[in-house]
Chain A
Amino acid sequence: MPTKTRAASYTTGSDQKPTIHFPAEHAERSAALPTVPNAIIECKDVNVYYNAFRAVTGVDLSFGSKEITALIGPSGCGKSTLLRSLNRMNDLIDGARVEGSVTFQGEDIYHKEVDAIEVRRRIGMVFQKPNPFPKSIYDNIAYGPRVIGLKASNMDDLVEEALTRAALWPEVKDKLKQSAFGLSGGQQQRLCIARTIAVKPDVILMDEPCSSLDPIATSRIEDLMYELREDYTIIIVTHNMQQAARVADRTAFFTALASEETGDRTGLLVEYDLTKKIFESPADQRTEDYISGRFG
């Protein structure tokens, strides 16, 4: 594998952008970035800003098709921010800006002729807190296909299929007309996954999907992710390292670096490899410290 080192000393010409100098010895990425076969999403030198604040710095990352990729790292390392920039959910935040290129199936999703709405139809998202709509279970699932004008020959079948895929059908098949708010937290989260599947995306982004769930509900979601991997690409942000170790094919470890001058913290990709490699023989000392619980 070719070794690529990269000094993270960023100086930009424009006045409004901050000049950040990181201590070179910390910012070096010691591991080579493995090439991912049949990547579906590729990030090249992605920087995400909130106004003048740079939340994510210089990320090069490829996500393999029909793989589960986990993004791990301490709080404030920009992993959620990066995730939200993959389907342009960051557009909804005032002052958020993405630099660099994010391509989906070879096309730049930030190209001016690309509609964010279409991007989100292809790259779905499941959020940290289950957020079912204040509607019936049936309507929660049918909502997505309806708004994108998916011509389902039979909506009932589509709802059943999505709920079955999300391993929720046996539990809810007798109460489809009841409010989704009557479900437990874990069921609500599986409903949100079913809702996402119903619009048939290629990629599902998951932003700490189990952080508000108990261990049993968590393990059901993990089983579900493993089954969905056959048809979908899944990218998951998690604080739970065991979860990453259990479900992910590849794992990317991020860390937060504080600028020497301003003290502003920015997220940086440290190491990206097969999950087994990351957890068993990480190349970077910081990765090892993090996964062994010494920091973060």
Chain B
Amino acid sequence: MTFLTTGLGAHIRSASIHGKVRGGEHSARSVLFLIALWLCLFVAFGVLLTLIITTLIDGFSRLDSRLVTEYPASAPERAGLRPAILGSIWVIGATALLTIPLGVAAAVHLEEFADRKKWFNRAIELNVQNLAAVPSIVYGLLALGFLALLGVQNKNIVIGGALALGLLVLPVIIISTREALRGVPLEIRQGSLALGATPLQTVWRQTLPASVPGIATGAILGLSRALGEAAPLLVLGALVFVSFDPNGLLSGYTTMPIQIFNWTSRPQAEFHELASAGSILLLLILLAMNGLAIFIRNRYQQRW
């Protein structure tokens, strides 16, 4: 306890702890910074709120059962989103089937088996990170080029759209799967291997099952992003006036964002109402998907 007898110790003991600390949270700079933060929040939140409220007001009158049961028509009062909803389900379903196995497999390889010291594994890693930030239309062009290379004439097919959206979602799934795998403690892998399990058995029976909540969350968030995309599908020549139900991977299709895009470009105000109603429906679906992702994460996430 010798330090108490030094000058410093004496000073600490004699000073009162009352009063405000200089540069603390009540100084002018701190308050100013706090106001700036609040302002940013208000601007972002305000814009979003205005958008949602105006859309709600515009589209509320058309938010009825006809919206989901009717086909598009030249008369706005008879028009609906039925083929677009079915088209979205087909395209997103195909995208999920295409990308989830591929993305999970890629992530498992990168995380569990790839030698991190090899330069090409590091290059792949860096590229996956970068691909997640590429604008979606680029993937549309890529899919277009790929289909042309295969000699596909009619590119407005479900599988074509799924290909473009799959490229968009793939990096998101790979990154979130790797995060989930990394969350599984090393002890679990060691415990499994010490019992004489092979590395592959360890992945299949321990690491991967333990990562399912994280993988599901990432996949749902990725797919919900794809659900709202119109640009890559427009590049592929997605139809805007579909009066039939899509019925297979090679069927023509339209999706909800494309239909909404088409309606907003019509001159009649009634079509704008329809577009708003469609937007509300799309928003609700996205909200439900994100809600499901949060539910899965909270309900099944393993606390180690």
Q: A-side interface residues toward B, CB under 8 Å?
A: 87, 89, 92, 94, 117-118, 120-121, 124-125, 127, 129, 131-134, 143-144, 147-148, 192, 195-196, 199
* Contact residues of B: prevailing secondary structure: helix
Q: Which chain B residues (148-205) contact chain A, with CB distance < 8 Å?
A: 185, 187-198, 201, 205
Find out whether the CB atom of B192 lies under 8 angstroms from the CB atom of A196: no
- Given A118-B196, A120-B196, A133-B206: A147 in contact with B191 (beta carbons within 8 A): no
Find out whether the CB atom of A196 lies under 8 angstroms from the CB atom of B194: yes
- Given A147-B201, A147-B205: A131 in contact with B188 (beta carbons within 8 A): yes
With the chains together, A92 CA to B198 CA distance in Å? 12
Find out whether the CB atom of A143 lies under 8 angstroms from the CB atom of B190: no
Find out whether the CB atom of A92 lies under 8 angstroms from the CB atom of B210: no
With the chains together, A134 CA to B300 CA distance in Å? 11
Find out whether the CB atom of A89 lies under 8 angstroms from the CB atom of B191: no
Residue of B nearest to A91 (CB): B193
| Residues of chain B at interface, number, CB under 8 A | 19
With the chains together, A147 CA to B196 CA distance in Å? 8
Find out whether the CB atom of A89 lies under 8 angstroms from the CB atom of B190: yes
Taking CB atoms, residues of chain B closer than 8 Å to A129 are 187
Checking A87, A127, A148 against B197 with a beta-carbon cut-off of 8 angstroms, the contacting residue is A148
- Given A120-B195, A127-B191, A196-B194: A143 in contact with B302 (beta carbons within 8 A): no
Min CB distance B115 to A, Å, is 9
Taking CB atoms, residues of chain A closer than 8 Å to B205 are 143, 147
With the chains together, A124 CA to B190 CA distance in Å? 11
- Given A143-B205, A147-B201: A117 in contact with B196 (beta carbons within 8 A): yes
With the chains together, A131 CA to B194 CA distance in Å? 11
Q: B-side interface residues toward A, CB under 8 Å?
A: 117, 185, 187-198, 201, 205-206, 210, 302
Find out whether the CB atom of B210 lies under 8 angstroms from the CB atom of A134: yes
User: Apart from A92-B193, A133-B188, A144-B195, what are 8 other A-B pairs with CB-CB below 8 Å?
Assistant: A117-B196, A120-B195, A124-B194, A125-B190, A127-B187, A131-B187, A147-B195, A147-B198
Return 29 A-B CB contacts under 8 Å, by A number. A89-B194, A92-B189, A92-B190, A92-B193, A94-B117, A117-B196, A117-B198, A118-B196, A120-B196, A124-B195, A125-B190, A129-B187, A131-B187, A131-B188, A131-B190, A131-B191, A132-B191, A134-B210, A143-B192, A143-B195, A143-B205, A144-B196, A144-B197, A147-B195, A147-B198, A147-B205, A148-B197, A195-B191, A199-B195
Residue of A nearest to B115 (CB): A94
Find out whether the CB atom of A120 lies under 8 angstroms from the CB atom of B194: yes
Taking CB atoms, residues of chain B closer than 8 Å to A87 are 194
Find out whether the CB atom of B195 lies under 8 angstroms from the CB atom of A148: yes
Find out whether the CB atom of A134 lies under 8 angstroms from the CB atom of B302: yes
- Given A133-B206, A143-B205: A195 in contact with B195 (beta carbons within 8 A): yes
Checking A94, A133, A199 against B191 with a beta-carbon cut-off of 8 angstroms, the contacting residue is A133
With the chains together, A245 CA to B266 CA distance in Å? 89
Taking CB atoms, residues of chain A closer than 8 Å to B194 are 87, 89, 120, 124-125, 127, 196
Q: Which of A94, A117, A120, A131 has the most CB of B within 10 A?
A: A131
Min CB distance B184 to A, Å, is 9
Find out whether the CB atom of B191 lies under 8 angstroms from the CB atom of A148: no
Find out whether the CB atom of B193 lies under 8 angstroms from the CB atom of A120: yes
Residue of A nearest to B210 (CB): A134
Q: Which of B187, B193, B195 has the most CB of A within 10 A?
A: B195
Find out whether the CB atom of B195 lies under 8 angstroms from the CB atom of A196: yes
